[in-house]
Amino acid sequence: MPAETPATESVDAVVIGMGPGGEAVATELARAGLAVVGVEGRLLGGECPYYACVPTKMMVRAAETLAEARRVGTLAGSAQVHTDWAPVAKRIRDEATDNWDDKVAVERFESAGGTFVRGWGRITGPGQVRVDTADGPRDFRALRAIVLNPGTAPSVPPIEGLADTPYWTNREAVTTTEAPESLIVLGGGPVGAEFAQIFSRFGAEVTMVVRSRLLPRAEPEAADLLAKVFAEESISVRTGVEATRIDHDGSYFTVRLSNGDPIRAQRLLVAAGRYTDLSALGVGAIGLDEQAHGIRVDDRLRAAEGVWAIGDVTGHGAFTHMSMYQARIAAADILGSLTEPAQYHAVPNVIFTEPEVGAVGMTESQARDAGLSVWTGRAEVPDSTRGWIHGPGNAGFVKLVADADRGILVGATSVGPVGGEVLSALAVAVHARVPVTTLREMIYAYPTFHRAIEAALADLG
């Protein structure tokens, strides 16, 4: 363990990783009067506002506008649709990311009383942090807390030839100034699915290479429906195969599949999950396993004496809203004001494909694996009045998972044109453990997509 030097700076708290959660906890502590140092090697705000949640939803918005325009002939007359990626790229550059500049975010944090240090932080001993900056290392002594919010980076599978090619991750896909003419997507999770549909709607010929099935963590019915929609939109989904070799000839990628088939495209997007390098954080210095996939925390987000961890690294969901939720709890615990520990029985998530796939709590299989006596109920969105009115693009359903013994919902999935918005009502029900009898007595506004919840409740059993 390095000894403290005269140059060591003593502060109350050091936050390593200033993604949304890191920024939130650092700001809260600073506003409470603590001397706080926020450390970030890239952009303050993290992946979400610059390379993920925000810019990708701008891409989704543009792509769904094209899809709606193509439905005009069925609903409202005629239209010719010509795609142009330039407005999308401009909006991402100018409005979402400020040309990938975090000046405003840094000023916001510093105006709250925090100190921002751009560099890579790691723990060197109990209460000690070293930050490698462009001007050399800086050492800090955290008197009250170290908070770890390292986020994740794209995983790059060890496929022969891949490392020597100009493949994309989500970062390159977001910063592109033109849509590709053809695209291969490695991975069938939320990131891969969203990008596949986005670029397909902008005219790309898209092939997805999926080891098992689309959306492996979602209800199987959601994956099946999305696969059907993708087929209708001419997105090729190759399931049960893997890439074994990748080549690039200067213009095109050739991907050799495990069944021997070659596929070819202008661009290759690697969407094979994400990881955190714990060894770079130096967590071994406080007795944690640097080879682990994440950091175990208690319900106050404590990882070790004087150390808290929040966000993706805790394994409770790689979502911005999870990181923000945990930030609030960690800050309260550090300040001694925590009243309610963390709860994870009603974590919501939304996949922004069309149809949107929203889910909260347990899937049916998770509930059965937990030994619950399970009821399920389902209603099809097209069978609802609002779904019927909506017409083209109305694919979807609401599925409920209930604990029959307690008479409450323990999970739900909402798939449809606004599946993520309908999810909010279901999230409240799961979080608050509202009795099914109460949910059945509610009045659901007509004609809204929420009426499918009432129909699913009627089917529950």
Helix (H, G, I), strand (E, B) or coil at 5: coil
341 is in an annotated binding site: no
Q: Give the number of residues written for the chain.
A: 461
For residues 350 and 417, the answer to whether their CB atoms sit within 8 Å is no
- Pair type for strands 236-239 and 205-210: parallel
Closest CA to 406 of 362, 446, 375, 361: 375
In whole angstroms, what is the distance from residue 244 CA to residue 267 CA?
Answer: 17
Cα–Cα separations (whole angstroms), residue 310 to 303, 321, 322, 331, 457: 9, 11, 8, 10, 35
Place of tokens 């909006």: 91
188 is in an annotated binding site: yes
Handedness of CA 44, 344, 280, 284 (dihedral sign): positive
In whole angstroms, what is the distance from residue 325 CA to residue 116 CA?
Answer: 22
The tokens for 286 are 């406080």
187 is in an annotated binding site: yes
193 is in an annotated binding site: yes
Helix (H, G, I), strand (E, B) or coil at 28: helix
For residues 429 and 378, the answer to whether their CB atoms sit within 8 Å is no
In whole angstroms, what is the distance from residue 461 CA to residue 459 CA?
Answer: 6
Enclosing H/E stretch for 203: none
103 is in an annotated binding site: no
- Describe the chain by its helix, strand, coil percentages, rounded to 5: 35, 25, 40
Q: HSE on the CB side for 458, CA within 13 Å?
A: 9
189 is in an annotated binding site: yes
374 is in an annotated binding site: no
The tokens for 446 are 């007509």
In whole angstroms, what is the distance from residue 392 CA to residue 390 CA?
Answer: 6
Strand partners, 264: 254
How would you class 162 by CB atoms within 10 Å of its CB: exposed for 0-12, middle for 13-18, buried for 19 or more?
buried
194 is in an annotated binding site: yes
Rg (CA), the chain: 24
In whole angstroms, what is the distance from residue 448 CA to residue 203 CA?
Answer: 32
192 is in an annotated binding site: yes
Residues marked as binding for NAD(+)?
187-194, 273
Residues marked as binding?
57, 121, 187-194, 273, 312
Residues marked as binding for FAD?
57, 121, 312
